[in-house]
Each structure stands twice: as structure tokens, then as C-alpha cells.
Amino acid sequence: MGVLHILGVLAEFFPENMMIYSSKLISIYVNEIKMQMKSQSKKLDYLVLTGCLRGLNCYLVTFTQSAEEGAEYSWDIYNCVKQCITQQFSEQKRYDVPKAAMALIAKHAPQFNLYLIDDYKVMYERLKMWSRHYNREAKHAGYLALESVLRQISEMLVQRVKVSKQKDGAIFSYFIQEFRSIIDTSNNSKDLSIAIRGYGYFAAPCKLFLSQDDVKFMFGEMVQRSEQLYLMEATELAGEKVLHLPSFLEALASIVKELDVMPESFLSSLEKLVVVMFESYPLLRKNTSLDYLAHKAIIKVFMALTDKPAIQQTLISRIVYQGILRTCSHPVVMESGSVSAPAAAAENDSEGIQERDPRKIVYKDYMDLWLNLLDFARAKEFNALGFSLASKRVLTQRIYDEVVTSILKICSKLDLSTTKDSEQTATSQGGTIASEIDGATSSDPLCGLQASRPKDFVVFFNLVDFTRDLLLEKHKPLFKRWVYTYGHDIIVMATSNPHISGFYKLLTVCMKICDGINFFREPNAADEMKSDLEEMDVDMSTDVQNCLTLFTKFCKEVTERLKTYKGDLLVSYLQLVLSFPYQIVEGNITGMVTAVQLSLKIGLSYLPLAKAALKSLESWSAHLPPALLQMHYKAILPCLDDYLKTAATDADGTANQTVILTAGSSNRGRKKIPIKLLKQSSRNRDIKADDNDSLVLRILHFVGSLGGANNASLVSCTAAEVANIAVAWDTEKHLKFTIPFVDMKPVIYLDPFLPHVAELAVSSSDRQTKVAACELLHALVLYMLGSGAQQPESHQAKHPMDRLYRKLFPVLLKLSCDVEPVAKQLFHPLIMQMIHWFTRNVKFESPETVALLDAIMDGIVHPTDTSLRDVSASCVREFLVWSIKQISPQQQEKSPLNTKSLLKRVYSLALHPSPSRRLGASLTFNHVYSVFREEEALVDMFILELLVTFVDSLALAHADDQSLGTQEQCVQALGHIEKILVKKAMILNKEKKGRRIPKAFASATLHAAASWLLRQCGRPQAQCRRTCMHLFGRLVPHQTKLRCKTAADYMNMLVVAEGPGYFLARFEGGGYSGGVCQSGIAVAPTLPSLGDGQSGLRDSLQWFELLLAALDCYTWVFSEGFIEPAKLFAVGSSGSAKVFVAMDYFITQLAAKDITGMAAYRSSGEFFSPRDREEYNRSKCTVIVRIMDFLAAFLSRYSDQADAVIPMSFWSRELWDMILLTVLDPSCIGFNMADVEVITKLPQQLKLLLSTLSHHLPASQKHDLQKCIIFMLGTTGRNIPAMLPLSLTKADREMLHLSYLIDGYKLLHQAGLLLPALPEGGAAVQLPSQLLMSVYNGCEKCVQDCMSAAALTPSAKQLGSRQLELALAMNIQEDSLLLCLFGPPGDPSTVSMTSAACDLFYATFQAEINNCLVVVATLIPRVMQKISSQETRALNILVELLNHISRENNFKKKHGTTTVNTVLRHWTLLSCLWSATAAADQKKYGHYTSTQAAAYRLYGCYQQQAPCFPECF
């Protein structure tokens, strides 16, 4: 047997060598088989027969014996194989002969097709018997052979009809009856599998022998049985059923390929079955190891719809979305070595690798399926299906696009909101002061946050890991078209949820892909993409520039936030920062160096972060100018020295070796029993050691590549570090200790030991050493306290120990928040007890108390250590609590010593130039606020001083980056002060002798505070003046000097008493402090009147801030209705108001100019960096927005006073041009459209302004505005009617720019300003239809004079969506939309509107079209009327509309009831769906629409008096 088989294998794999022996070999095989089968005297040799069959199976691969070609041995081989399958052999136990025969038929059935169709009954019956056999191998061979035979018979039936017009109706009827009988009577999944596959193979003959309706009936029958088997059983799918599900899908795919029209009911059923395949994939993979069948079946379903691109796109979209949801809806996998892994798990597993339970399903069990779906084009098994490589590439592109789309869609739909866990802190009455801290005032932004929907977070965490594992693995070039859309959407979501690390991980994936495909590099003709996938014909230069702008800005924001986070969030931030390309790094090198330093510090315990940091350094040194990094090597290289030290320690020691002791037997033999004292995985240990060694080697290579001039920085030491080591803590020794020996008592001093013990306790990497040092330090501190307590005051005055305490207190605070539990347990209670002890001082600014308080304040302003800030905050609260406890009420009213010391430091920090110190001051007050407010004496003495201090602090924070949190915490502190002022208003309205009076106050009363706050409303610092406006409005009703209930009454009383100049000085005085105005636009209404004219940029920014201050003040008082403009700009005093002069100057001279134009105007001759340009444009655009806010506030309330108050020169052509450019082309005037804040807020403000101008602008000015709109819309590049149709497939125009332009048209139309500006007659009426046809034609492209589906980029889809939204807003003509949905067009000679094109148009822009259908009330009935002529398409649209409403919750709430009522009122149009002659798919449509209507529980329609009752019933 073996020799015969080997000869066949040689013929298969070495045909060139076996060519001369092929005839002889085939004769040997055939003669031997004949002899064995026909011999009467000789016993049948099963081994020889099996060897011949197996050898033939291999031989026929290369040397065919086809019946169609009339081969000599074809009939003999077939006849022998047939006998081996049909005859019953005696003494056969292993079924080797029939298995070999069936394997030959399964592999080479096409060579015997003529004989198979003649013996169809015999072969079918016998193979069906074998497919039910109890022997597993024989059964499997029978399935494969039966599948091959049925396929060949089906192909022969089709071939005979096409070639000779011969219809073998008997054969076809026989098999159809067999399959139908099985489907109707059998419940066995094996038999059903045979019937289903047979139906699939005979779909093509059915189409030829019968009609299209019969094919639809066949599909409906199979789907019904499949749903009964896989969808209607509550029990979990068993292994046998799961094994047959891929076959079901392949058969359904075969029938789908023969359907001319795919009804929505069929598509929905097919979708459900494929989703079941996704759900069952882990079971198929684990239990049967036949997981390859799943992706093969799914791909065949997709490829069967190649001729129906719209249906294919819809099905792929649904299945990918549902598949990703099911993939990510399992428990989260804890990554090995993750920084977020629980500490307990790390202790249990010394190697840091956690094995998950293989019985649990996680997202990784689906990864092979997704990878194979994206890589199917390379699989050889799909080559036999007859699809070209181009069609496979298109399908791969569609699957990839839908994966990215679904990822973004799921991220946007998940509820990732969080809530503060304040209930636990409010009810906690624990002994530690930390339990009493409100989580809202913690320096850690994640403190107390709880997920609103934990299940959504589980899906999101899995989605992040899934995205990383999939997109970084396959087809990176396909992501090029998604970079901007993906990055923009994720950045928007990350900005809304800044505390969720997953968004930064998703952006890291984007940056890594960009690096892998060289997305940001300049195009090089020599570069060639190595991927075998087709590159999209899209000019990416515009996208690259947009992406650079977007990511550069976000990079700056992220680097500023690094100082406020810790844990997994911090690591995610760092990984994102390190993944940015060098083109982005170059503009923010200082922040990036800080990130590298922090990464290398954390990388000592988390190696992947260290590798990422080193990779970034290598890339920067290779691509950035050497001079740019030269100055930063001194800060970076010392961080690498720790890795080299660790490597040297490991090389010298033997810590990594496994210790094995052996005990030998003394009596019996030499056998030794090993006893392992340390259980370690040698494999994982070696991998870890290799990683460390490779990292050290890379560090050495990197340092060596920098040259000798930079290598010295590796071991450099600053003067402060040298002083910390070399200088003693105190020149005098205090800690005298007598050793109690028996024979003598020598005296030693413990002072010299303190520095070294403290260093070991803080920084020792050996746990035993660290714990011992902590215990010794704890004892020494207790000894110091006891020694100091026993000494008299005179001795303490001469020999104070405050110098030792100043060194010790910072160490104790660090240890009280150390990750080592022993250190934390020792020193956290100790530091609290020391606070209790040192707050007993009776003198102001006692040295020891001052040392403790200074250490606490230094800890709370630490720039990076969040844990230290938290502990210091709890300590400062404890300090105030015990300072109050240990002082009498009389002394507290007279002079609260420690409180005064604390607040003095708070004042100093609050007014410090450093943002971190100002942040510490705000955090300090926010922590002690709840204690401070309960002490009336302290409130009465310090509250007004605190108000002034924190207002000034907020003004200093104006230039701070918002991500630092200085403004946020300061506003929170002022909010606390506001509550105290309101609550204690009765006390503060009366003057008191002991109350501290701020310098700017005339008296220490609430009225003086309100007057001072009014003066601060004109300050140029934005957040400061807005907070002062809010505080003024809250405090004025509580002051009693001027009897008024509201701020409006207060201001009107002042106008009468002081005149309008009182407010003009405060609003235009730039922070007016009394007397004559010396700043603000009151002094400098134009830019040349400000400054020395030497620095155009500095003066411009300063003048912009002064103008913004005045505009904010006027907008505030007009929008709130505090003062009428006629009173404020009264006749006789309006000349003193400079705001209109300043606005007119800005609009005419600066608004349309960039920074270069401003410099040329001022003749400053400055050179401006990109950062200068960005800063100038941001300030200028902020002024533009505030001018628009001013106009909206003025005209919405006081439009009748506009002519009397606003100078006519203000209504200039330049004003309208500025507004219209902001509406139509915001980037042209300087707006950064990569800024998330601009993208989200600017349209809302423009909508409000345009609506106000449309309704409240005086007639003459409105006429001028309308003329400017007409002119602006007629200019080149802004005339959309002239630009139509807009191509969605060519990159000849900037699509992002066009999207903003269309948005501007939409804003003008919503305000009622667009239609009057369009030419009368055709343009206004035809524009919606032109937009519609532009999108319709863009869905297809012409390839070799044939129209095919266009692969639209995300930007193209966005542009198409914007066009449809504008067309809908302009009341699109119903007939135009219905023609695009159902065809044909009015003029067939111009546009070819085929049925496929209509389906493709609806599938591509389904959401926008559905929105149009529900908004236009008469469209749904007209769609329902189309059922009579185009039933399938009309029903598909109706069902998709109901699906869209049910999926989108917001849409469902707004339009769901109205839409369903409309359907019910026209229910008679659907009567064909449940008539007696209705087909199965029609009945499914009727059932679905009824179910959707019932889901809304519209009980009114079930009442007889309801309008829709007669139609429904």
C-alpha cells in the first residue's frame, strides 16, 4: 500500500520526473484495481486496493483522466471507485477502501462529471448513506464526496442548457424533491445540512429550469428552516450545529448569487445568520478546530453580492457593526505587564504574566476571524470562485472601511460619562482625615469618579484593544484615507472625556500607523508601497496638512496635562506623546522632553514605555536638527543612566538564577530528588533578561551615536544635588544618645545617621533595606520629638532643631504616600500626630511649626507627584482643624496664630508667577473650605482678603494653559468664597473693627466688595472678568447700602447717581482702579495709540485683550438687560464711549489681515514664528466672535435703539464682509478649523447672530447686508451653484473647505438670508435638485465606459452628506428625491439612473435620506405608493426607515411617533403584504412593519374613533 501511495505522491509533486512513467503507472493502478475487484479465487487485499486509490488520488492532480476529453482510463477508474463506494466489503473494519474512494471523488469529481450525471441516483444514495455513517472519518469523507458530486451535477445541468439547450428536468426534479422532503420532514441537522447545501448548488439550475420566483421561494424555504434551527431555540448552540452553520451560509450565498433582486426581508435573515456565525465562532474554534470554515462562509456571502454593490455595502455595514459589538461584549483581558494590573496579582505571579481562564470567551478569541476577513484576498481557496483580484481588493477596502466606521460609531454611542462618588465621602466618619476630604477638591482628577454605565466601559476597553490588535496588524495603507476623519473624531471625544485613557490609546494606534506608512513625510518618487492592495487615486497633500495642524495643536494640549495624571491614564498620555511623528515634535520640543523624562522614570518598572521613549529619541536624533536637541541632552541622558546601573547590578549578582538543592539517598542507588526552593519560569525569565539586555544595548548605541560632547551629560550632577549630599543638615548635634551597656555608657550622636537613613527609606530598591530604614527613621523621629519635649524652652531657644525638621518633614510626607505599605502604615499616622503636636505652639511663626507648614505647602505645590499633593492636602486640612481646636475662642477672634500663618502662605502662593504654586494655593483653600466656613471669627476676619487674593490669582492664570487646571481650581475657590459671602452677608454688611480691609477697598463691607468687583469686570483677563461678573450679580442683591433686589436695579441707580461715565470708565478702562483712566480702549481706542510701536505682535495682543474686555462688559449688561444702551450711551456723553471707535478700527484695519498684513500696516518689520501666527489668529478671531456676540445681544433686546446709539459708520461693508467670511470661509479669515472648540462652538454662535440680523436688523442695514451676501456668493470659490456638480471621487478641490462652505450656505438659509441672495427664478428652485443630483452622480464612477460603484473616501462621504443636508434644509423637491430613489430621471440622455445606481445612492447616504423622509411629511406615503410598481425597493426603504428610527434613540424620540402614525394612516397601501396570494417575503415585510408599529404602543390607533383605525382594521 505504501509503495503505491508514494508513487502517486511523486507524480503529484514531481511531475517532470514522472512524465515518462505516467502511462505505465496509470495502467498499474487500473489493472491492479480491476484484478482485486474481479478476482474470484484470490482474497481481496484491502491494503493494495487502498494504496491504489490513494495513489490515483495524487496521480490525477497532475495527469488527468477527464471523461469529457475521452481519456483511456477514465471509465475504468470511475467504475472501480463506484464499486468501492457502493459494494459492501466483508471483513472490513476500518473502512479504508471506501474512504479512499470517496476522497478521490471529492477531489476529482470534475473529471468524471459525465458519468456522475448518468449515475446520479446511485451515487447520491450511497454517498448520503456514508454521510450518515457512525464512523467519524467515513462520515466526513462522505460529506466531502457528496458535496463535490452535487456541485458537479449542478454544473452539468447548467452546462447542458447553455451548450445544447438540453434540459434534464427529471434529474433536477429528483434532487429538488429530495431536498424539499428533507426540509419538510427531517429535524436532523445532518440531513438538513445536506438539503441546504443541495439547494445552494441547484440554485443556478433552478434559475434556468424554473423562474426567478422559484429561486426566491427556494431561498425563503431555506432561510425559514435555518432560522428555526439557529435562531428560535433558546438553548446554546451545540458543537454539531455549529459545525454545519458555515455550510448553511455557503449554500445561502450560492442562492443569493442567482437572485436578481434581494428583498430586505431576505437580507435581514441573512444578516441574522451571519451574526450567529460570529457569536458561535469561539465555540467552533475551541471545540472543532474548523474555524477556517467560518470566515470562508462569511466571505462567500459577501462575494455573492458583488454584482449588487448597494446590497453588499448595506450587509457588510450591518454585519461588521454587529460583529464588533459581539466581539467586544466579553470580559476585559488584563494585559501582561500592564501598569493597571492589580498589585495583588503582581505579588502572586513573580513573572508578571497572568494566565486567563481558557474556558471564558474574550475578544482575542475572535481576532483570527477578523484577520482572515481582511486578508482573504491572499487565500488560494477563493481563487476558484471566479472573482478577479480587483473585486477582491474592492471588497477588502469595503470591509476595512466599515471596520473603522463601526469603531468610530460605537465609540460615539457608548455612554462613557462618570459621576463623583460623593455619597461615600459624605457618610464616612472614619478616623483618618483623608476619608473626610471631598473628592471634588482632590488634586487627582480621577479621584472619586465612578462609571455611569460600567457595561459600556467594558465594551470600550475591549474595543480599544481590538482596534490596536487589528489595525496595527493588517493593511496599514488602507488607513491613509481615514487619518483625518479618525483622528478628528477621536480628538473630539477625548476632549469631551479627558480622563478616559482609551481615547489616547486609539490615537496612539493612529500615530503608529501613520509612522508605518510614512504619512507625514514628503512624497518621494523612489518610495514604493509594498502592499499588494491597490492604492487609492487620491491626492493626500491636503489631508496631510490638515492632519498636521490637528495633531500639532492636540500635542501641545496633551503635553501640558502630563503633570496632573497618574497610573494608566498617565502611561496612555505618554505613549501617545511618544508616538507623535518628528514633524509635530519639532514645534513642541520642550514639552516632549518633559514627557521623555517622565517616560524613562516610569519605564524602570514598565519596560514598554522605556522602549517607546528610546525609539522616539532615536527618531528625533535622526531627523531633527542637532541644534534643537543639543540643549536638552543634559536633561534627558541622566535618565538613561539608571538603566545602565540596573544592568551592571544584574550582571554582578545572581538574583535571576534558580536555586535548586538536591538530596541524595544514602542507601539505594545514586538517584537524586530535586527540591525547588524558588519556582520560576525559565522561559519568561530569559525573555525578560533578553529585553533588558537589548534595551541596554540600544541605549549604549544611542549614547555612542551622540558623540563625546554629549556623553558627559549622562553622569552630570547639578550643584543642588552635590549640595544635598555634601552639606550637613545642621552644624550642631542634637540627638545625644547614651548606650546602656553594663560596664559603660558611651555617648553617641544620631544626627549624622539621619541623611543616609532617610535616603535609604525613600529610594532603596531592596525591600528589606527600605523597610529596615523606615523602621529606624520612625524610631529616630520619635526620639527627636521626645527629646524636644523634655527640654526647657530656654534650651530650645538656644538650640532649635528646626533645621533637622526642615530636612525630615519632606521625607516623612513622601513616605506617608509611598507605594510600600509598611512605610505608609508607619508614617501616615506619624505625620498626623506630629501636626497635632506642633499646632500647640503659643508663639506666632514658631520655627518647628513653620518648618512643618512649609513642608506641607511644598508638597501641595509639587508639579508632578499627585499622591504627594493628596497627602499634603489632607495634612493642611488637619493642620487647620487642630489649630482651631488648640486655641481659645477669644484668642481666635483676637489673633489666630497658625491660621494666619497658613493664610499668609496661601496668599503668597496664590500671587506667585509659577502656575503650579498658584494651583497649590487654590487646592489648599478648596480642601480647608469646609472647615474655614464653620468658624465665624475666621470668616469675618479673612474672607474679603481671600476674595481679592483669588481674583488677582485668577487674573495671573490668564496666560496659563487650560489643561493645567489653575483657572478651574481658582474658579472653584471663588465659588466657595461666593457661598460664604452669601451665607454671611448679614455679618459682612456691617463694619467691624477687627476685620482685615483689602487695600483696594474703601471699607470692609459687602457693598465695597460689590463695587470692587464691578471695577474688575473690565480687566483684560477673560476668565477673571467673567467670574467677577458672576460674583457681582450674586452679591449685589445681598448688600444693604443700596436698597435693590437685582443687579439691574443697582446699575440703574448708579447710572442716575453717577452718570454713564461711571460704567464707561469701568468697562473701557482695562481694570479701572479709580481716578482718571490710564489704560483700556478708553485711552487707546486704536492700535497705534497703544505702546511704543516697537513690537507689533505684543501690542496687538494686548490691544485685542483690552477690546475684548469692553465687548464682554457691554455684551453682559445688554444680554442680561441690566442697562439700556440709550442710558449708557446717552446723548451728550456718547462721545466718551470708545467701543464703537475701537470696533470700527478693528473691522476696517485688522479683521481681514493676517499677522504679516498687520506688521506691514504698522511697519514693524518683525519676523513671526508659526506659534506667533497661531496666537495672533486666535486672539483676532476671538475678537471677531465677541463682536458678533455684542451685535446679537444688542439687537435681540434693543433693536429699536440701534439707529440712535450705533454710529452709521459702524455699519460698513467691511463689517458684513467679516461676518460673511466667518460664515462661508472661516479658515480664510484666520479661524483654526482643526481646533475642536472652534468646530463645535462657532456654528452655534453664527446661527444665533444670523438669526438676530435677519429678524432685528434695521431695514437699511439689512438691505446692505443682502447686497454683500449677493456679492460674496458670486465670487469665485464660493459660488456653489456654479461649482456643481461637485466630484466625490477626484481630489481636484479641497473637500474639507467645500464642506465648510456648504455649512455656511446652510446657516444663511436657516436665517432666511440665502434665498433672497440667489438669482430670481431658476437658481433658488433648482439648487436643491442640483445638490441632490451632484451627490447621486458622485456615487458612481466611469471605468472603461461602464459605470461602477465609487469607493468614496470619508471626506467625500462627509461632503456628500453636507450637500444632502443643505438640499433638505432648502425644501428639496419630492419628485427629485423620488427619482433618485426609484428612477428613471426626467432626461435619460444626460444621466443614466439605473436600478443599481438608485440602490447604491440610498445605501451610501441612508441616514441623510431617512432624515429627509421623516421631515417631509408627504414623502412616506409616496414611497408606500411605489409598492405597486417597485415593490422590493419601496419596501426596502420603508423597512430601513423603521430600522433607522428604532436604532437611533434621539431620532426615535423626535420623529418615531409621527412616522409610525403616518405609516398607519396609509396602511391600506400595504394590503398586498398579507393578501392570500402574497409571497413569503411579502408576508415577512408585513409582519415586520406591524411589529415596528406595535412597538411604539400607539394605543390611540386601536380605538374606533382614531383616523387610522379603518385602515388598520
DSSP-assigned letters across all residues of 504-545:
HHHHHHHHHHHHHTTTTSPP-TT-----SSPPP----HHHHH
> pLDDT > 70: what percent of the chain?
82
Residue 1291: per-residue pLDDT: 55
Measured torsion, CA atoms of residues 968, 972, 942, 436, in degrees rounded to the nearest 10: -120
The DSSP bridge partners found for residue 420 are 449
Q: Does residue 1033 register a pLDDT over 70?
A: yes
Strands 418-420 and 660-664: unpaired
CA Rg, the chain, in Å? 41
Please give the average per-residue pLDDT across 1475-1502, as a whole number.
Answer: 66
pLDDT in tens, 53-81: 889 889 888 888 888 888 888 898 888 88
Helix (H, G, I), strand (E, B) or coil at 682: helix
Confidence of residue 1182 (pLDDT cuts 50, 70, 90): very high
Helix (H, G, I), strand (E, B) or coil at 218: helix
- State the Cα–Cα distance between residues 738 and 105, nearest whole angstrom: 101
Please give the average per-residue pLDDT across 101-113, as a whole number.
Answer: 89
pLDDT in tens, 905-936: 999 999 999 888 898 899 899 888 888 888 88
Give CA separation, 1491 vs 262, 873, 1488, 1497, 1504, in Å: 22, 59, 5, 10, 20
Please give the average per-residue pLDDT across 730-748, as a whole number.
Answer: 79
CB count, 10 Å around CB of 744?
8
Measured torsion, CA atoms of residues 425, 430, 431, 433, in degrees rounded to the nearest 10: 0
Helix (H, G, I), strand (E, B) or coil at 419: strand
Contact 643, 611 (CB under 8 A): no
Who's near 1201: CB < 8 A, 6+ residues apart? Answer: 1124, 1125, 1126
Q: Does residue 1486 register a pLDDT over 50?
A: yes
Q: At 403, list the grid cell.
A: 471596520
- State the Cα–Cα distance between residues 1051 and 1127, nearest whole angstrom: 11
Confidence of residue 240 (pLDDT cuts 50, 70, 90): low
Q: Does residue 688 register a pLDDT over 70?
A: no
Who's near 417: CB < 8 A, 6+ residues apart? Answer: 452, 453, 497
Measured torsion, CA atoms of residues 1106, 1108, 1109, 1112, in degrees rounded to the nearest 10: 170
Residue 136: per-residue pLDDT: 81
- State the Cα–Cα distance between residues 1005 and 816, nearest whole angstrom: 43
Which of 814, 805, 729, 803 minimizes the C-alpha distance to 770?
814
- State the Cα–Cα distance between residues 1264 and 1313, nearest whole angstrom: 12
- State the Cα–Cα distance between residues 350 and 334, nearest whole angstrom: 16
Please give the average per-residue pLDDT across 1111-1133, as a whole number.
Answer: 84
- State the Cα–Cα distance between residues 947 and 950, nearest whole angstrom: 6
Residue 288: per-residue pLDDT: 62
Q: At 302, list the grid cell.
A: 459577501
DSSP-assigned letters across all residues of 1088-1117:
GGSS-SS-HHHHHHHHHHHHHHHHHHHHHH
> pLDDT > 90: what percent of the chain?
14
pLDDT in tens, 348-395: 333 333 345 556 788 888 888 898 888 887 776 666 666 777 888 888
Please give the average per-residue pLDDT across 996-1022, as a whole number.
Answer: 88
Q: At 721, list the grid cell.
A: 544635588
- State the Cα–Cα distance between residues 1015 and 110, nearest whole angstrom: 95
Query: How big is the CA angle at 770 (ends 764 and 776), to the nearest 5 degrees?
Result: 130
Higher local confidence (pLDDT), 1163 or 1478: 1478
pLDDT in tens, 517-534: 888 875 443 444 444 443
Write the DSSP symbol of residue 19: G
pLDDT in tens, 242-257: 777 887 788 888 888 8
Matching residue, cell 514605555: 609
- State the Cα–Cα distance between residues 894 and 885, nearest whole angstrom: 15
Q: Does residue 501 register a pLDDT over 90?
A: no
Lowest mean pLDDT among 73-82, 1166-1175, 1344-1353: 1344-1353
pLDDT in tens, 580-608: 888 888 877 888 888 888 888 877 767 88
- State the Cα–Cα distance between residues 1302 and 1296, nearest whole angstrom: 10
Helical (H) or strand (E) element with 1223: helix 1213-1224
Helical (H) or strand (E) element with 674: strand 672-676
Which of 435, 441, 559, 564 minimizes the C-alpha distance to 862?
564
Return phi, psi of residue 39, to 5°: -70, 130
Give CA separation, 440 vs 175, 415, 431, 432, 560, in Å: 74, 21, 20, 18, 21
Residue 1447: per-residue pLDDT: 76
pLDDT in tens, 1243-1261: 999 999 999 999 998 888 8
pLDDT in tens, 465-474: 999 999 988 8
Strands 1340-1343 and 1346-1349: antiparallel
pLDDT in tens, 981-993: 999 888 888 888 8
Which of 636, 790, 771 minimizes the C-alpha distance to 714?
636
Q: Does residue 1272 register a pLDDT over 70?
A: yes
Measured torsion, CA atoms of residues 492, 496, 497, 502, in degrees rounded to the nearest 10: -10
Lowest mean pLDDT among 104-113, 713-722, 1027-1036, 1478-1487: 713-722
Contact 967, 1023 (CB under 8 A): yes
Sign of CA dihedral 1209, 1211, 1212, 1214: positive
Return phi, psi of residue 985, to 5°: -60, -35
Confidence of residue 311 (pLDDT cuts 50, 70, 90): confident
Contact 1401, 1380 (CB under 8 A): yes
Higher local confidence (pLDDT), 838 or 377: 838
Residue 421: per-residue pLDDT: 59
| Average pLDDT in the chain | 79
